[in-house]
Amino acid sequence: MIQVTKTYLPDFDTYVSFLKKAWDRAWITNHGPLVIELEEKLKEKLSIPNFLYTSNGTVVLQMALKVYGITKEVVTTPFSYVATTNAILWENCTPVFADILPTSLCIDPDSIERKITENTQAILATHVYGYPCDVDKIETLANKYNLKVIYDAAHAFGAEYKGKSLLSFGDISTCSFHATKIFHTVEGGCIVANDTEVYEKLKLMRSFGHIGDDYYCLGINAKNSEFHAAMGLSIFPDIENIIAKRKFIIEHYKTKLSSTHITFPQSELPFKSNYAYFPVLFNDENTLLKIRKALMNADVNTRRYFYPSLNNLPYIDEPVSCPNSDELSKRVLCLPLYYDLELDQIDNISAIINSTLM
């Protein structure tokens, strides 16, 4: 079976050498030396000083809402992983869905503005597949209406806009270091705040809101362990090679796939891609389902990422129509993409798609 993704694993002996350090110290959690080392390396690589390494990429969305005291409406995208919406609901806020752009599949700034009310407190947008949201237009809206901007940048590690990491934009950006991501620590994530005071509060919130016997604020357990940091430190030197290989694979796919019946998301903004995913848009849902079945019959797994459009979740109190997201979510399919995917496997996948489309 060819899976849609596959975890990148570093040299085993390298990983064990980091584990041995933690083992010898018998210090495996609570901000150990490996966690601190990884945090510093990532800060330097991304040129982001206010960076916190955390336990996953979902709790940080909750922390972002909590640190700003967001309790009312949050304008958000319906085209994202369910964690984006769940975090809003979990914090007892109200998600207000704005539609997406048909090109990048990121949230449409014009749709955001139409959704803003007197109860709107924040915008929570996703850099879908690592494509950048229109951060300039969103910043203009935020300034105009006095809103906080939070970016779910789970897909955006290694992507850049205007020469800066996509994690640099917004009041807060979050990222996931889950095992399926370009850079991972098995489980993990990070949160970035542009305001230093907010960053210091998030640092407290990550560890239950206290230091020793001194309690400062409400907090949660968002720490990560030495074992997870060891994986990150082992993979860290390979990041650029991983991205380059994924770029090569996507470019090879595009030389093999027929362009008659498929299109690809594209950004109207000049940006440096991280090649996080390989989404393909088919003309209609029936075609997608035929392609998916043909590939599954050949032991090739794909993913409808993202489906369904989140405005249609069964636990949304008042579903709303988002025509672009409703339609595009039915037509997009992510094809297998991982570091050691072989060229003959790509050729076979492409041949199945091309023959099914004929």
Q: Of 335, 330, 348, 306, which is closest to residue 81 (Cα–Cα)?
A: 306
Instruction: Tell me what pLDDT residue 157 has.
Output: 98
8 A C-beta contact, residue 280 and residue 262 = yes
Phi, psi of 350 (to 5 degrees): -65, -40
Q: Token pair of 283, please? A: 């003309």
Would you say the C-alpha torsion 245, 279, 126, 179 has a positive or negative sign? negative
C-alpha 301: how far from chain center: 21
Phi, psi of 41 (to 5 degrees): -65, -40
pLDDT confidence band for 263 (50 / 70 / 90): very high
Instruction: Tell me what pLDDT residue 358 has.
Output: 83
Could you give the residue ranges of the DSSP H alpha helices within the chain?
A: 12-25, 33-46, 59-67, 82-90, 109-115, 135-145, 196-205, 226-235, 239-256, 285-297, 323-328, 343-357
Helix (H/G/I), strand (E/B), else coil: 156: coil
Average pLDDT over residues 53-64: 98
Report the alpha-carbon distance of residue 174 to residue 188 in Å, rounded.
11
Q: Of 236, 176, 194, which is closest to residue 54 (Cα–Cα)?
A: 176
Cis peptide before 306 (omega within 30 of 0): yes
Instruction: Tell me what pLDDT residue 18 has.
Output: 98
pLDDT in tens, 147-158: 999 999 999 999
- The Cα-based distances of 78 to 132, 135, 180, 198, 282 in angstroms read 16, 18, 22, 27, 20
> What's the chain's average pLDDT?
97
Report the alpha-carbon distance of residue 117 to residue 146 in Å, rounded.
12
Percentage of the chain beyond pLDDT 90 is: 98
CB atoms within 10 A of CB 223: 18
Domains of the chain and CATH, by start: 12-237 (3.40.640.10), 238-357 (3.90.1150.10)
- The Cα-based distances of 320 to 78, 186, 215, 268, 325 in angstroms read 10, 36, 42, 27, 11
Helix (H/G/I), strand (E/B), else coil: 55: coil
Report the alpha-carbon distance of residue 17 to residue 293 in Å, rounded.
44
Instruction: Tell me what pLDDT residue 262 has.
Output: 95
Phi, psi of 299 (to 5 degrees): 65, 40
pLDDT confidence band for 72 (50 / 70 / 90): very high
Report the alpha-carbon distance of residue 173 to residue 149 in Å, rounded.
9
pLDDT in tens, 283-333: 999 999 999 999 999 999 999 999 999 999 999 988 899 999 999 999 999
Cis peptide before 10 (omega within 30 of 0): no
Report the alpha-carbon distance of residue 210 to residue 191 in Å, rounded.
18
pLDDT at position 258 over 90: no
Instruction: Label residues 294-331 b or e (16+ Cβ within 10 Å = b).
Output: ebeeeebebbbbbbebbbbeeeeeeeeebebbbebbbb
Instruction: Tell me what pLDDT residue 193 has.
Output: 98
pLDDT confidence band for 190 (50 / 70 / 90): very high
| Sole residue written with tokens 């590939």 | 295
Instruction: Tell me what pLDDT residue 32 has.
Output: 98
pLDDT at position 259 over 80: no
